[in-house]
């Protein structure tokens, strides 16, 4: 499998975003950096973490026509596309808490909440995998970080089998600290092995206090490779970072995922983190690349833009980290 070298694009891009001039300009900038992959997000809603159905929303979900239009535009720039619909909850719950009640909730009324959730999710996957096949997307991703649903292997296996009848490309998924599920791989038929690759969300610290040199960050990250390496050795498919990111703030490498840190803008700190990740893992045989979280910001968090010196969020657009990405993608 080729190494994924990409960025996540369009997270929280609302209806109409992908048909806008701004979206096309973003793709132009991605192409200028020679980035070969884009993980394209389409937001799907469900009401709460325990809901059994999800749906396209008139406000939050991009239309099919604009998605097909932007996929064509991305392909026209010579960039490959992973289409990844992602579920968000209206009650504000993070997707890694999405779960279904187990057992008989109401006496004498058998009802599988899990099966009902997967029934709805199968409709979602059917729709978007057809789009991925129609538009020639090179990969399709089953959401991201649905950790509470990992154990339902039979449901996932049925879904993968169903998807392959529609979509002929690369099928993948990604979770938070995927390596924690290493014992599940003792069952060779566990659903992870039925995918074409598997990702993990990688926001590991690169320093004890933040700051420091790239070399020191590489050494620090090296201490976290053991669990991922052991997991990848048992996994039968390639392993990569489905998400990897760091805010552009002072000392962010101490807690790369913590975006409410109240620190000042520091684009160099973010750039060092990206450089350290590339150096730390590129030479390892088990690592098959990453998608940086993320290219653009559509979530409108005021904390990110309060510093006049720069956007403090995860984005790399217009920041020093963009040059690091360009250098890596040109290798």
pLDDT value of residue 306: 74
CB atoms under 10 Å from CB of 303, counted, come to 14
Look up the domain containing 93 and give its range.
4-329
**What are the Cα distances from residue 47, in Å, to 6, 89, 94?**
31, 5, 12
Query: Pairing between strand 139-142 and 170-176?
Result: parallel
pLDDT in the model for residue 298: 83
Q: Quick check: 295 and 274 in contact, CB under 8 A?
A: no
**What gap in Å lies between CA 214 and CA 270, rounded to an integer?**
11
In our burial notation (b when 16+ CB lie closer than 10 A, e otherwise), range 176-193 reads bbbbebbeebeeeebbbb
User: In the prediction, which pLDDT does 115 show?
Assistant: 92
Q: What is the pLDDT of residues 153-187, one digit of tens each?
A: 999 999 999 999 999 999 999 999 999 999 999 99
Strand partners for 45 = 55, 88
Q: How many domains does the chain have?
A: 1
pLDDT at 101: 77
User: Which portions of the chain are predicted below pLDDT 50?
Assistant: none
pTM over 0.85: yes
Whichever domain contains 63, its CATH number is: 3.20.20.80
Q: List pLDDT tens digits, range 119-159.
A: 999 999 999 999 999 999 999 999 999 999 999 999 999 99
């Amino acid at each position: 499998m080729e190494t994924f070298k990409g960025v996540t694009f369009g997270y929280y891009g609302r209806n109409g975003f992908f048909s806008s001039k701004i979206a096309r300009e973003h793709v132009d900038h991605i192409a200028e950096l020679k980035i070969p992959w884009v993980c394209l997000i389409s937001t799907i809603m469900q009401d709460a973490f325990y809901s059994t159905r999800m749906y396209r929303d008139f406000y939050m979900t991009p239309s099919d026509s604009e998605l097909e239009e932007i996929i064509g535009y991305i392909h026209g720039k010579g960039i490959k596309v992973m289409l990844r619909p992602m579920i968000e909850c209206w009650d504000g719950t993070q997707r890694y808490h999405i779960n279904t009640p187990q057992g008989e909730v109401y006496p004498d009324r058998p009802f599988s909440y899990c099966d009902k959730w997967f029934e709805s999710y199968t409709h979602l996957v059917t729709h978007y995998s057809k789009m991925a096949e129609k538009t020639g997307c090179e990969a399709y991703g089953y959401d991201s970080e649905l950790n509470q649903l990992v154990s339902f292997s039979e449901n996932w296996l049925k879904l993968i089998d169903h998807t392959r009848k529609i979509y002929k490309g690369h099928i993948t998924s990604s979770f938070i600290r995927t390596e924690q599920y290493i014992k599940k791989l003792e069952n060779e038929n566990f659903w992870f092995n039925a995918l074409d690759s598997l990702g993990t969300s990688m926001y590991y610290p690169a320093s004890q206090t933040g700051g420091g040199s790239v070399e020191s960050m590489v050494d620090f990250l090296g201490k976290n490779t053991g669990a991922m390496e052991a997991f990848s050795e048992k996994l039968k498919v390639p392993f990569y970072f489905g998400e990897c990111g760091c805010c552009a703030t002072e000392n962010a490498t101490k807690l790369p995922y913590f975006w409410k840190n109240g620190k000042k803008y520091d684009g160099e700190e973010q750039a060092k983190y990206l450089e350290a990740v590339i150096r730390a893992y590129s030479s390892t045989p088990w690592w098959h690349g990453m998608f940086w979280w993320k290219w653009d910001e559509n979530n409108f968090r005021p904390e990110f833009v309060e510093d006049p010196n720069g956007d403090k969020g995860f984005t790399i657009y217009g920041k020093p980290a963009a040059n690091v990405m360009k250098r890596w993608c040109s290798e």
